[in-house]
Structure 1
């Protein structure tokens, strides 16, 4: 069962997995799942060759890096933009740029995949920032671009960005998003090459 737990926790990312979700997804009893989670947490904590631990908050579980590696992780994310942003980060940044303020759930719906890791990388690189919370159940965080983003890409205002392509029909949103990502990626690469 450890492999199943680890797989689900990996895919869930920053959101983690609730005990109810484990119970729904796995065939084992709730008590067995709780014992397996406790054993997995002990195994990760004791294994000096692993950089992750199982973190529990309420009835949710997620995998996080061990505290001993905090400085290493900070150095990794604090490095200047010497490497290109990943496709996931570019897509996430494009969505935030054009839809801000926007929640992670809205970003995930547009991309069709979970964006927690990309959001974290963009936050640590100071390209995006929190813009308060949405007045909705759970009060999700709203994200927007930062002053550093504007300065880094030489923008005086968001009006300097290329216009969004318009979809011919509501079902063309996937093509529109791909056009947007390609257009935005080209602009970002151009800006990065000139820095």
Structure 2
């Protein structure tokens, strides 16, 4: 297995958090020059391949795979189509945490949920329910997330002040962030009720 192939796999797993050259070198136990050469080769191959839907980008010294600009309209239509409007309970929980705690990083969401939320955040972002609103000035510059205008329109909210008060949740119950979306009988058919965490 080539270094380039291994890097491609690691970038796929890392998702939107991306990885730095130093992290790749440490994981693969190879020198930085080899990592740089492999990244450059991969970037060129993906960019020049007309059949590849993804490309390799470098933002603030972190590399990540993203879909090509040409696919933007197709992806937006897909994300909003009826057959992909079902989200699991764990996705709803992630969305609720971001809505109430925004702006918040993925690590912040993870700490509240107790599980890795990378997949959920990527799914919510692909459906235009959350968006990147900045980065924290700390090592790695983690991304800050907030809900989108589409989220506000879908749930009929004029502002975040229209969100139910957390204090409205019954005490001595198993209610969670995801239950907040049921208080005002919003369009909960948008979500399914499975309890399995999809990470």
TM-score (norm 1): 0.68
Q: State the alpha-carbon separation in 2 of the partners of residues 31 and 56 from structure 1.
A: 16
- Give the aligned partner of residue 189 of structure 2: 193
Shift of 1:92: 1.0
- Give the aligned partner of residue 68 of structure 1: 70
The yes-or-no answer on 1:147 pairing with 2:149 is: no
- Give the aligned partner of residue 24 of structure 2: 22
- Give the aligned partner of residue 164 of structure 2: 158
Does structure 1 conserve the Cα–Cα contact (< 8 Å) formed by 2:20 and 2:61? yes
- Give the aligned partner of residue 172 of structure 1: none
Shift of 1:141: 2.6
Q: Which has the higher helix share?
A: 1
Q: State the alpha-carbon separation in 2 of the partners of residues 187 and 163 from structure 1.
A: 8
Pick one of 84, 104, 107 that aligns with 1:105.
Answer: 107
Shift of 1:136: 6.0
| CA spacing shift, 1:85–1:188, aligned 2, 3 Å | farther
- Note the aligned Cα RMSD (angstroms): 3.9
- Give the aligned partner of residue 122 of structure 2: 117
SS of structure 1 residue aligned to 2:86: coil
Shift of 1:150: 4.2
Shift of 1:88: 4.7
| CA spacing shift, 1:10–1:192, aligned 2, 3 Å | same
Does structure 2 conserve the Cα–Cα contact (< 8 Å) formed by 1:16 and 1:61? yes
Shift of 1:86: 3.9
Aligned residues: 178
Deviates more, 1:30-39 or 1:80-89: 80-89
- Give the aligned partner of residue 12 of structure 1: 14
Deviates more, 1:135-144 or 1:30-39: 135-144
Does structure 2 conserve the Cα–Cα contact (< 8 Å) formed by 1:165 and 1:180? no
- Give the aligned partner of residue 170 of structure 1: none
The residue correspondences of 1:42-57 to structure 2 (distance < 5 A) are 42-57=44-59
Unaligned ranges ≥5, structure 2: 191-199
Does structure 1 conserve the Cα–Cα contact (< 8 Å) formed by 2:20 and 2:62? yes
Higher relative contact order (CA 8 A, sep 6+): 2
- Give the aligned partner of residue 87 of structure 2: 85
